[in-house]
């Protein structure tokens, strides 16, 4: 999505700013953006009127984004994390919380620039969690780079302000151009702000819920905001054919796992483990005498 790495970025020490957009909304992707420039360009960067994207009108953000795209002294990159990936990571068995997802995205951008050959000397980043702990984590991961982690970094450092604009405009455009995977009738994008407290957003969720299939993939279904919409949801049972070591030295036991949850946060997953020796397993597996194999010779 971004332009190829400029030649100057591989020859001069560079500054990099990192910021995110869309951390809190229940709808749409979370986007991490970065902007970088030669350290010698930093004073000029301060004159370009970049500011925290939240303080700017949409038209101003779009104009500034277009100006930085054509500025040969500036480079940029983004990482777009879709709603489905956010929810899947937060709900899987070994959960990944939003802070960790954020940290991994930011570190992924640093790694990407280094792999591109950018001579990163300093990185400025808006904090997620404790600033000092985050700084130490980054420094241990990337020794040799100076990290400055601060609250409200997007209003303190122009290079982070620019990253904030990159992230915000990218997310806004992703929402404006969203193409639904689902084919239900009467779907629309009158979503409001996408934040949980917005009445238009709540109405959109109400209009687009399904008692069996849940929400469209635009929705971060792991958000607690979704829970009240499915108090009367249809109970769904998945049959799972698994082989677990029983830890007694008697081999393994088969079990059937019943999950009566739609996967929304706040719902308790009722898990019934049935020692079945085949009984209660899916008829497809029974009829063909199929077993799950995990180890191969």
pLDDT, tens digit (0-9, with 9 covering 90-100), for 181-198: 888 778 899 998 898 889
Q: Distance between CA 17 and CA 154 in Å, rounded?
A: 9
Q: Distance between CA 96 and CA 248 in Å, rounded?
A: 32
- List % helix, strand, coil for the chain (3-state, nearest 5): 35, 20, 45
The per-residue pLDDT for range 95-116, each reduced to its tens digit, is: 999 999 999 999 999 999 999 9
Question: Is 62 marked within a binding site?
Answer: no
Per-residue pLDDT, 241 = 53
Per-residue pLDDT, 208 = 92
The per-residue pLDDT for range 4-29, each reduced to its tens digit, is: 789 999 999 999 999 999 999 999 99
Domains and CATH numbers, the chain: 7-177 (3.30.420.10)
Question: Is 181 marked within a binding site?
Answer: no
- Tell me how far apart the terminal alpha carbons of the chain are, to the nearest angstrom: 44
Predicted TM-score of the model (pTM):
0.79
233 CB neighbour count, 10 Å cutoff = 18
Question: Is 20 marked within a binding site?
Answer: yes
- Average the pLDDT over each of 39-53, 195-209, 254-268 and give the range with the smallest value: 254-268
The per-residue pLDDT for range 26-77, each reduced to its tens digit, is: 999 999 999 999 999 999 998 988 877 788 899 999 999 999 999 999 999 9
Q: If pLDDT is split at 50, 70 and 90, which confidence band does 121 have?
A: very high
């Amino acid at each position: 999505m971004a332009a190829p790495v400029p030649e100057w970025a591989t020859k001069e020490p560079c500054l990099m700013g990192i910021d995110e957009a869309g951390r809190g909304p229940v709808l749409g992707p979370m986007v991490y953006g970065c902007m970088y420039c030669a350290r010698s360009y930093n004073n000029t960067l301060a004159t370009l009127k970049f500011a925290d994207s939240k303080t700017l009108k949409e038209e101003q953000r779009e104009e500034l984004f277009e100006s930085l795209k054509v500025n040969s002294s500036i480079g940029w990159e983004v990482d777009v994390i879709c709603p489905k990936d956010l929810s899947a990571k937060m709900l899987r068995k070994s959960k990944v919380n939003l802070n960790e997802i954020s940290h991994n995205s930011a570190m992924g951008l640093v790694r990407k620039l280094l792999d591109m050959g950018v001579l990163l000397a300093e990185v400025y980043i808006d904090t997620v969690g404790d600033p000092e702990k985050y700084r130490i984590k980054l420094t241990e991961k990337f020794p040799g780079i100076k990290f400055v982690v601060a609250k409200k970094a997007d209003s303190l450092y122009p290079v982070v302000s620019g990253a904030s604009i990159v992230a915000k405009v990218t997310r806004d455009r992703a929402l404006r151009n969203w193409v639904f995977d689902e084919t239900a009738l009467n779907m629309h994008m009158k979503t409001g702000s996408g934040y949980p407290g917005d009445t238009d957003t709540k109405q959109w969720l109400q209009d687009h819920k399904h008692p069996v299939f849940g929400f469209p993939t635009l929705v971060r279904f792991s958000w607690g905001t979704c829970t009240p919409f499915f108090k009367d949801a249809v109970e769904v049972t998945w049959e799972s054919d698994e082989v677990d070591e029983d830890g007694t030295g008697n081999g393994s036991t088969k079990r059937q796992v019943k999950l009566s949850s739609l996967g929304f946060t706040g719902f308790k997953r009722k898990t019934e483990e049935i020692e079945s020796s085949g009984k209660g397993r899916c008829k497809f597996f029974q009829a063909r005498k199929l077993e799950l194999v995990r180890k191969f010779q």
